[in-house]
Amino acid sequence: MTLSTLEGGCLCGAIRYRTSAAPFAAEYCHCSQCRKAVGGVAVAWMDFNRNQVRWQKQIPTEFASSEHVFRGFCSQCGTSLSFRDDRYPDYLTLSVASLDDVNQVIPTYHIHTDSQPNWLSIDDEGPRYGQNRGDHSGG
Protein backbone atom coordinates (compact mmCIF):
# COMPACT_ATOMS: atom_id res chain seq x y z
CA MET A 1 0.00 0.00 0.00
CA THR A 2 1.35 3.44 -0.93
CA LEU A 3 0.79 6.60 1.08
CA SER A 4 -1.85 7.70 -1.43
CA THR A 5 -3.72 4.40 -1.09
CA LEU A 6 -6.19 4.17 1.76
CA GLU A 7 -8.27 1.22 2.91
CA GLY A 8 -11.25 1.02 5.19
CA GLY A 9 -14.70 -0.35 5.75
CA CYS A 10 -17.51 -0.94 8.17
CA LEU A 11 -17.50 -2.47 11.64
CA CYS A 12 -18.67 -5.94 10.57
CA GLY A 13 -16.43 -6.14 7.46
CA ALA A 14 -19.26 -6.57 4.94
CA ILE A 15 -18.24 -3.34 3.18
CA ARG A 16 -14.62 -2.59 2.30
CA TYR A 17 -13.08 0.09 0.09
CA ARG A 18 -9.71 1.07 -1.29
CA THR A 19 -8.72 4.41 -2.78
CA SER A 20 -6.23 5.01 -5.58
CA ALA A 21 -5.25 8.46 -4.28
CA ALA A 22 -5.13 10.58 -1.18
CA PRO A 23 -8.21 12.75 -0.56
CA PHE A 24 -8.20 16.22 -2.12
CA ALA A 25 -9.74 17.64 1.08
CA ALA A 26 -10.60 16.54 4.61
CA GLU A 27 -12.85 18.39 7.02
CA TYR A 28 -14.80 18.24 10.25
CA CYS A 29 -18.53 18.77 9.80
CA HIS A 30 -20.58 20.05 12.71
CA CYS A 31 -24.04 20.09 11.06
CA SER A 32 -26.98 18.49 12.83
CA GLN A 33 -27.65 16.00 10.02
CA CYS A 34 -24.10 14.62 10.17
CA ARG A 35 -24.27 14.42 13.96
CA LYS A 36 -27.49 12.42 13.84
CA ALA A 37 -26.36 10.23 10.93
CA VAL A 38 -23.24 9.03 12.76
CA GLY A 39 -24.25 9.44 16.40
CA GLY A 40 -21.33 11.75 17.18
CA VAL A 41 -20.90 15.45 17.95
CA ALA A 42 -18.75 16.04 14.84
CA VAL A 43 -17.78 14.01 11.78
CA ALA A 44 -14.41 13.88 10.05
CA TRP A 45 -14.90 13.48 6.27
CA MET A 46 -12.43 13.02 3.41
CA ASP A 47 -13.23 13.96 -0.19
CA PHE A 48 -12.29 12.05 -3.33
CA ASN A 49 -12.92 12.05 -7.03
CA ARG A 50 -15.49 9.27 -7.34
CA ASN A 51 -13.32 7.22 -9.72
CA GLN A 52 -10.60 7.03 -7.01
CA VAL A 53 -12.76 4.88 -4.70
CA ARG A 54 -13.32 1.16 -5.31
CA TRP A 55 -15.75 -0.85 -3.22
CA GLN A 56 -14.13 -4.25 -2.57
CA LYS A 57 -17.16 -6.19 -1.34
CA GLN A 58 -20.68 -4.85 -0.96
CA ILE A 59 -21.58 -1.22 -1.58
CA PRO A 60 -23.22 0.96 1.06
CA THR A 61 -26.98 1.23 1.34
CA GLU A 62 -27.96 4.85 0.84
CA PHE A 63 -30.45 7.05 2.64
CA ALA A 64 -31.64 10.31 1.04
CA SER A 65 -31.21 12.64 4.01
CA SER A 66 -32.20 15.75 2.05
CA GLU A 67 -33.11 16.78 -1.50
CA HIS A 68 -29.63 16.22 -3.00
CA VAL A 69 -27.74 14.35 -0.27
CA PHE A 70 -27.31 10.59 0.06
CA ARG A 71 -25.64 9.05 3.09
CA GLY A 72 -24.17 5.57 2.76
CA PHE A 73 -24.09 3.02 5.55
CA CYS A 74 -23.74 -0.71 6.10
CA SER A 75 -27.16 -2.35 6.21
CA GLN A 76 -25.77 -5.10 8.49
CA CYS A 77 -23.93 -3.17 11.23
CA GLY A 78 -25.07 0.42 10.60
CA THR A 79 -21.62 1.99 10.17
CA SER A 80 -21.81 5.38 8.46
CA LEU A 81 -19.41 5.33 5.51
CA SER A 82 -20.18 7.87 2.81
CA PHE A 83 -21.77 11.14 1.80
CA ARG A 84 -22.58 12.24 -1.73
CA ASP A 85 -24.38 15.20 -3.23
CA ASP A 86 -26.03 14.44 -6.58
CA ARG A 87 -25.26 18.00 -7.76
CA TYR A 88 -21.57 16.93 -7.76
CA PRO A 89 -21.67 13.43 -9.33
CA ASP A 90 -17.89 13.19 -9.77
CA TYR A 91 -17.18 13.39 -6.01
CA LEU A 92 -17.55 10.98 -3.11
CA THR A 93 -16.95 11.74 0.55
CA LEU A 94 -15.95 8.99 2.99
CA SER A 95 -15.82 8.93 6.77
CA VAL A 96 -12.29 9.25 8.16
CA ALA A 97 -13.44 7.03 11.05
CA SER A 98 -14.00 4.16 8.58
CA LEU A 99 -10.30 4.02 7.67
CA ASP A 100 -8.26 1.07 8.88
CA ASP A 101 -5.69 3.64 10.10
CA VAL A 102 -7.40 6.92 11.02
CA ASN A 103 -3.99 8.58 11.44
CA GLN A 104 -3.51 8.59 7.65
CA VAL A 105 -5.89 11.54 7.12
CA ILE A 106 -6.07 14.70 9.22
CA PRO A 107 -8.94 17.15 8.64
CA THR A 108 -7.69 20.64 7.80
CA TYR A 109 -10.81 22.79 8.28
CA HIS A 110 -14.28 22.87 9.89
CA ILE A 111 -17.68 23.43 8.27
CA HIS A 112 -21.09 24.24 9.78
CA THR A 113 -19.53 25.58 12.96
CA ASP A 114 -22.70 27.64 13.52
CA SER A 115 -24.19 24.28 14.62
CA GLN A 116 -21.22 23.09 16.69
CA PRO A 117 -22.01 22.35 20.35
CA ASN A 118 -20.63 25.21 22.46
CA TRP A 119 -18.95 22.73 24.82
CA LEU A 120 -16.96 21.02 22.02
CA SER A 121 -13.42 22.23 21.49
CA ILE A 122 -11.17 20.80 18.79
CA ASP A 123 -7.73 22.29 19.24
CA ASP A 124 -6.32 22.83 15.76
CA GLU A 125 -5.45 25.73 13.49
CA GLY A 126 -7.91 24.81 10.72
CA PRO A 127 -10.16 27.54 9.36
CA ARG A 128 -13.77 27.52 10.56
CA TYR A 129 -16.76 28.17 8.31
CA GLY A 130 -20.15 28.95 9.85
CA GLN A 131 -21.87 27.10 7.02
CA ASN A 132 -20.25 25.26 4.12
CA ARG A 133 -17.11 26.44 2.36
CA GLY A 134 -19.15 27.14 -0.75
CA ASP A 135 -17.95 24.09 -2.65
CA HIS A 136 -18.83 20.40 -2.83
CA SER A 137 -16.88 19.29 0.25
CA GLY A 138 -18.35 17.19 3.00
CA GLY A 139 -21.50 17.26 5.16
Backbone angles phi, psi at 127, to 5 degrees: -60, 150
Span 2-7, average pLDDT: 78
Q: pLDDT value at position 139? A: 54
The CATH number that domain 7-115 falls under is 2.170.150.70
Parallel/antiparallel/unpaired status of strands 109-111 and 25-29:
parallel
The residue type at 74: C
Percentage, residues of the chain above pLDDT 70 = 94
- The predicted-structure confidence for 45-86, as pLDDT tens digits, reads as follows 999 999 999 999 899 999 999 999 999 999 999 999 999 999
* Residues contacting 101, CB < 8 A, separation 6+: none
Could you report the per-residue pLDDT of 90-112, keeping only the tens digit for each?
A: 999 999 999 999 999 999 999 99
Backbone angles phi, psi at 43, to 5 degrees: -125, 135
